[in-house]
Amino acid sequence: MSESRLHNLIRVNQAITSDLDLDSVLHRIVAMAAELVDAKFAGMGVLGPQGEIAKFIHSGISPQVEAAIGRQPEGRGLLRAIMDTPRPLSLTALGDDPRSVGFPAGHPAMTSFLGVRIRVREEVYGNLYLANNRHGEFTAEDVELAEALAATAGIAIENARQFDEAIRRERWSRALAEAARGVMLDEESQQVPRLLDRVREAVQAEVALIATIDEETDELIVEHVVGFNSAVLATTRVRPVTESFVHTTGDEALVLNDLSLLIDTADGEVETTCHLVLVPFDGPPGRRIALGVANRGTQSELHDREIEVVGSFTSHVHTVLDRAEMRRTRHRVAMLEDRNRIARDLHDHVIQRLFATGLSLQATATQVDGPPGERLSDLVHEIDGAITQIRQSIFALNHDSADGATLRSRLSAIVERIGGSLPRRPTLVFAGPVDLVTDDDLSHDVEAVVSEALTNAVRHSGARSIDVEVAIADHSITISVLDDGVGPGPMTRRSGLSNLELRARRHDGTFLVEERATGGTSLHWTGRLGATRPSTGSPID
């Protein structure tokens, strides 16, 4: 190898290893390869996961010619031969080789050809193609230079990839840290969109979204979205044309590139192509929720490494959604309490005053003859009608189940009825949204448990005081009954306690009765919300 060409190789090596931006490195390798071996045309095919040419970078072809060709090489013919051959391939007349499949219309004529592999560690990253040597054909020295350049290119690409990975992980780490701070500090109304913005930034995607997977219609129901065209995507339905969200995802994360979708917009269904990553995570019972990122089909594809990034944010999203659900529950509880307060005020104050006024008017009407007396009687009827309407309103305010009373009020009535004979009325404490229990079977069993526990305490323990607590937490309802009586004793008659144990099993719960260290009995009963199973017996109420 001549001294001048060796100097050129050293210069080229320094040039391509001095840059850490991967895209710039790839373009510089192609341009300098053409310069190094004096070729008119040069190209690099970056291989995809299936060995196909996923990206093609070229030098020597004008934008006008590129537009006339219309597509990048597919990796057939001689280009495929380079992929399958570990040694460089050098040809004097490219068209004479039997593996050549020709060129598309508009492609410039190519004669001499040189192809070498580019390896990054043990991986074949891509292939370097050189064509139309200006001196006629590629020499053995040209092949040697191309191989040396390919080796340096592998090192430069590895450095750039590591730098790119470091930048990506720094961006990811920063976004995670900001997401954690945001969950604690952001305004509640902005937590979800800001969190999605951080996911989108960490992945460098166009869109980030939270969606429910509808198993019946095989659709994504977009609940929250930020990024490109978010106004169109918000609260819309997305249906895959060829894939199946339900059968493809399961509980696993997935990457779907070049996915055809039908988007239900205000102007009708629109078909589009996108690259999508979906990562399912735990949601409310009965719902399959996923955190996802997406790019348009014309933008960069997404890869398995994005799954790790998106997955790292699911715990933050889960926390934010749980807090939002808790806020809604607190609002509903406050609303129920307001309704109960209004109902009490209407009953204890308004109705009583109206009733007293009606009695007074009725008494006055009996002492007045003629039209004034009739008018007073009409007013009494009007007041009676108003009282009837108010009573109906009170019933509607308190109506929370089939029998027209809330679980809280029914339990209060049980405690009042059974504990009336005690020196001190039992205390009853509620914790959590007890009135929001909608399972009639569970509500019925909760009433039976409180009734049986209080009856045992009153009849058999000799207790002077009893404390009852009913609490909702972690998708379970817990009943605790504590008394200061003589303790559970040998409990030879266990029919009532067996019923309580059976009711607990029906709701995937637990039941425990034990003697308290300070004297008396402690009874604990739990049941899971939504876990009612068919009864295997007939508990005696």
Q: Are residues 361 and 295 in the same domain?
A: no
Please name which of 372, 353, 376, 354 lies closest in space to residue 363, comparing C-alpha atoms.
376
> 132 vs 28, 93, 261, 269, CA distance in Å?
19, 9, 44, 50
Instruction: Out of 312, 346, 371, pick the residue that ends a domain.
Output: 312
200/155 same-domain check: no
Predicted local confidence at residue 421, as pLDDT = 64
**Long-range contacts from 386-395, C-beta under 8 angstroms, 24+ separation:** 386/354, 387/351, 387/354, 387/355, 387/358, 390/346, 390/350, 390/351, 390/354, 391/351, 393/343, 393/346, 394/343, 394/346, 394/347
CA distance 453 to 479: 10
pLDDT at 495: 47
Same domain for 154 and 135? yes
Q: Which of 159, 152, 155, 154 is nearest to 12 (CA)?
A: 152
**One domain for residues 142 and 25:** yes
Residue 247: the pLDDT is 60
Instruction: Sort 387 into a burial class: Cβ within 10 Å, 0-12 / 13-18 / 19+.
Output: middle
pLDDT at 480: 94
Q: Are residues 347 and 471 in the same domain?
A: no
Upper half-sphere CA count for residue 58 (Cβ side, 13 Å)? 17
Domain shared by 7 and 154, yes or no: yes
Q: Which amino acid is at 474?
A: D
| CA dist list (Å): 80 to 87, 120, 258, 466 | 13, 19, 24, 84
Residue 173 located in a structural domain: no
CB-CB contact of 424 with 464 (8 Å) = yes
Q: Single out the residue in 342, 373, 398 at which a domain terminates.
A: 398
- Please enumerate in sequence order all residues whose Cβ is within 8 A of that of 354, keeping only pairs 6 or more positions apart, or say none: 383, 386, 387, 390
- The SS3 call for residue 435 is helix
Domain of 492, in residue numbers: 407-528
Q: Are 128 and 42 in contact (CB under 8 A)?
A: yes
User: Do 342 and 469 belong together in one domain?
Assistant: no
- What is the CA 89 to chain-centroid distance, rounded? 51
In a shared domain, residues 285 and 331 = no
Within this chain, do residues 248 and 144 fall inside the same structural domain, yes or no? no
User: Which residues have a Cβ under 8 Å from the Cβ of 111 and sit 6 or more positions away?
Assistant: 92, 93, 94, 95, 131, 132
Nearest Cα to Cα of residue 193 among 226, 229, 165, 154: 226
Dist CA 16 CA 148 (whole Å):
13
16 and 159 co-located in one domain: yes
Q: Is residue 353 part of a domain?
A: yes
Q: How many residues does the chain have?
A: 541
Q: List the pLDDT tens digit at each of the 541 positions of the chain.
A: 566 677 777 777 777 777 778 888 888 888 888 888 888 888 888 887 777 777 888 888 878 877 777 777 766 766 777 777 778 888 888 777 767 766 767 677 788 888 888 888 878 888 888 888 888 888 888 888 888 888 888 888 888 878 877 777 777 777 777 766 666 665 566 778 888 888 888 888 899 998 888 777 778 888 888 888 887 777 677 877 777 776 655 567 888 888 888 887 656 678 888 888 888 887 666 677 888 899 988 888 888 788 888 888 888 887 777 777 777 778 777 777 787 788 777 777 787 888 888 888 888 888 888 888 888 888 888 887 777 767 656 655 665 433 446 788 888 888 887 777 677 778 888 887 787 787 888 988 998 899 888 877 877 677 788 899 999 888 899 999 998 888 766 554 444 577 788 889 989 999 999 888 888 899 999 999 877 766 544 433 3
Last residue of a domain, one of 281, 312, 343: 312
Please report whether residue 537 resides in a domain. no
Closest C-alpha among 118, 12, 97 to residue 55: 118
d(CA 449, CA 247): 43
* Euclidean distance between CA atoms 377 and 379, whole angstroms: 5
Q: What is the number of domains present in the chain?
A: 4
Among the listed residues 288, 325, 284, the one whose alpha carbon sits nearest the alpha carbon of residue 530: 284
Q: Count of CB atoms within 10 A of residue 20's CB? A: 16
